[in-house]
Amino acid sequence: MSEVTAGIIIFPDLTQLDATGPWEVFASTPGMRVLTIAKTREPIKAKGGLLLLADATLADCPPLDIVCVPGGPGANVAMEDEEILGFLRARAPGLRYLTSVCTGALVLGAAGLLRGRRATTHWSAHDLLAGLGAIPTAGRVVRDGNVFTGGGVTAGIDFALTLVAEIFGSEAAQMVQLGLEYAPEPPFAAGTPATAPANVLAAALTRGVAMRARREELVARSKIF
């Protein structure tokens, strides 16, 4: 099998683990090459301040087998960035796999690439997928044809391992998982709305009110229909 090239789109104010989780899995997989792709080669500051550099720009990006779009607060801007949306639309037909992590799915949806597709995203935005033509589907990883979407943040690791197994087989994926010692044992059962204590969920919803309102606005004025 020839080398498989994955490109991860990066943009200001993204959630870095959405991008670096899959990046670590792909970079740990023999036979895979992984690139970060942005509008420019200027340093990009992720949410929280981590600086990321692009290996290629949207304009000079080489051929790709996989594109992955991460999420985070910056996904709001990306949803209306015609340069990013245009890149995704132009590349999608030639990809083996079109993918996202967390609210990166909203960017795919804004590009019109999730119409009629089952997809998932972060729990706080899951229902918004319907407004972008997708079929909201529960799951850490959801596949519809060659479109793979991962749920919130940490699900990016699950998604990437699932895709590695799809391409190279389950043993290869398990070797990567073992090498990363990916064996989650979280200290709290608060990782989903269904398991989080009511007061914790209420506080999270309150903290996210402004972000939710902004995303509802973006979906409402989406140009995909």
Tens-place pLDDT, residues 121-156: 999 999 999 999 999 999 999 999 999 999 999 999
pLDDT in tens, 183-208: 999 999 999 999 999 999 999 999 99
Dihedral sign computed on CA atoms, order 39, 167, 123, 110: positive
Q: What six digits make up the tokens of 117? A: 């597709």
The token duo for 123 is 């729990």
CA distances from 143 to 93, 146, 151, 186, 224 (A): 17, 7, 11, 26, 21
- pLDDT tens figures, 205-219: 999 999 999 999 999
Distance CA 171, CA 161 (A): 11
Catalytic residues: 102
117 in Cβ contact with 135 (< 8 Å): yes
CA gap 34, 211 in Å, rounded: 30
For 207-217, letters b (16+ CB in 10 Å) and e give eeeeeeeebee
Instruction: Please state the separation of Cα 19 from the chain's center in Å.
Output: 7
Fold of 4-220: Rossmann fold (3.40.50)
Q: How far apart are CA 217 and CA 225, in angstroms?
A: 15
Helix (H, G, I), strand (E, B) or coil at 71: coil
Pairwise CA distance, residues 33 & 23, whole Å: 10
- Encode burial over 56-79: b for 16+ CB neighbours within 10 A, e otherwise: eebeebeebbbbbbbbbbbbbebb
Q: Which tokens in the block code for residue 142?
A: 């959801």
d(CA 106, CA 113): 10
Q: What is the helix (H) or strand (E) element at residue 70, kind and residue range?
A: none
Secondary structure (3-state) at 118: strand
pLDDT digits (tens, 9 = 90+) for 64-120: 999 999 999 999 999 999 999 999 999 999 999 999 999 999 999 999 999 999 999
CA angle 111/112/114 to nearest 5° reads 110
Q: Where residue 225 falls among pLDDT bands split at 50, 70, 90?
A: low
Q: Per-domain residue ranges for the chain?
A: 4-220
> pTM for this one?
0.97
